[in-house]
Each structure stands twice: as C-alpha cells, then as structure tokens.
C-alpha cells in the first residue's frame, strides 16, 4: 500500500495529456527476474498503463495474472514505458511469462494506438503482431496470425506507445480467421479479443520516437 501511495504521488505532477518520453515513469529499471520482483512489477502494471493512458485508449482496467516480459535480440527489455530505438526493435522479441499449468493456450498482441500520431490517432490501432494458440510460453509453436512489423513512427510525430497484450484463450485451440493482408490500421485489440472470448492477463509497453 505504501508503494502504491508513492507511485500515486510520483505520477500526479504529470497531466496525462502532457506525458512524454521523459515524464512517463518506468518501474522495471532496478528489478531482477525473480518471483518476488515479478510480483512487485505486476503491482505497478495498472498504475503505469493508466498514467500513459493505455487504459482507456487500448484496454479497460484489469487484474494482471502474469508478468509479461519482452526482450529484443540485443537484450533490450520492455519496461513499462521505457524508450527504445527504431533500430533496436525491428526484429520480434522473445516473450516470457509464467503460464498456468495444463493445456492452456495464450495469445500475444502488439499494437500501436498512436497511428499516425498520439495527437491525431485517426488510424488507431496499428496491428504490429498477433500470435495465437501459444502452448504455455512457447511462442514459437503458436500460430502467427499477423507477422511481426517493427515500430515505424512517422518522423516528428512524437513518442508512440507500443503495447504488448497477453490474453488467455478459453479453448484448448482456437480457429482464428486470417487478417486481411496489408490492412493493419483500424485494429481494436480489446474488441477482437472479446469477440474470441479471451481474457487479458498481462500487458507491457515501450516508447519509440523518430526525430
């Protein structure tokens, strides 16, 4: 509770409409990948998503059940709003989380609600990556429904929020209709997940800006 009060006092000076790369707080910086620290990080997920207005721009508030870790090939980890570069994020990251026991399947989505800019998101959301029917944490054995597309924010369009969402599927294996090739704009991750009766259990995000 004291930690949440500290977070609230840290976030309050920054009006949501004026958040930037420098003012969106990051919470993973000094945490190692231990069970205790994963629990601490999960407590910070929803406050961070609200501070960055991912709640409600992309999803509604939820109770995280899994710590969603995304690490890019050069070792750069996604840390609840940290800044990464265009060059660092052009290949798909490794995804890790603690899966439930049994034959549980998951779906991972990466989406950009700031297309073409946060000030004028007329193409919200841009669908960057969708992998469904993931057995446990083995994303390589899932069905890639939308191939990975790295961040490509237009120059001088401000920081873009790139959001990873982890959904628990209700069925052992689901039959997903293919997305229309070449049409990534106008996606609504939460609506699509609801249509497939999936439950949001984890989320993470990072920022990329091109000047």
Residue 115 belongs to domain with CATH number? 3.90.280.10
Number of structural domains (the chain) is 1
Tens-place pLDDT, residues 104-120 = 999 999 999 999 999 99
Percent of the chain having pLDDT more than 90?
76
In this prediction, residue 38 carries a pLDDT of 61
In this prediction, residue 105 carries a pLDDT of 96
Cβ 93 vs Cβ 72: under 8 Å: yes
The predicted model gives 58-83 an average pLDDT of 97
Q: For residue 57, give its domain range.
A: 2-208
Cβ 67 vs Cβ 41: under 8 Å: yes
DSSP string computed for 89-109: GSSPPEEE--PPSSS-EEEEE
In this prediction, residue 37 carries a pLDDT of 60
């Amino acid at each position: 509770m004291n930690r949440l009060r500290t977070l609230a006092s840290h976030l309050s000076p920054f009006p949501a409409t004026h958040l930037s790369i420098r003012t969106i707080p990051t919470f993973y910086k000094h945490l190692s990948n231990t069970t205790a620290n994963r629990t601490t990080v999960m407590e910070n997920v929803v406050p961070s998503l609200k501070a960055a207005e991912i709640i409600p721009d992309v999803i509604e508030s939820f109770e995280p059940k899994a710590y969603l870790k995304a690490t890019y090939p050069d070792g750069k980890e996604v840390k609840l709003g940290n800044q990464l570069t265009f060059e660092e994020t052009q290949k798909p990251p490794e995804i890790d989380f603690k899966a439930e026991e049994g034959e549980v399947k998951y779906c991972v989505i990466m989406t950009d609600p700031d297309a073409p800019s946060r000030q004028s998101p007329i193409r919200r959301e841009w669908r960057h990556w969708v992998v469904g029917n993931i057995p446990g944490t083995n994303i390589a054995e899932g069905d890639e429904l939308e191939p990975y597309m790295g961040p490509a924010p237009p120059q001088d369009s401000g920081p873009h929020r790139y959001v990873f969402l982890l959904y628990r599927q209700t069925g052992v294996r689901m039959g997903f209709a293919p997305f229309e090739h070449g049409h990534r704009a106008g996606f609504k991750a939460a609506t699509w997940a609801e249509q497939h009766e999936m439950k949001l259990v984890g989320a993470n995000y990072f920022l990329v800006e091109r000047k």
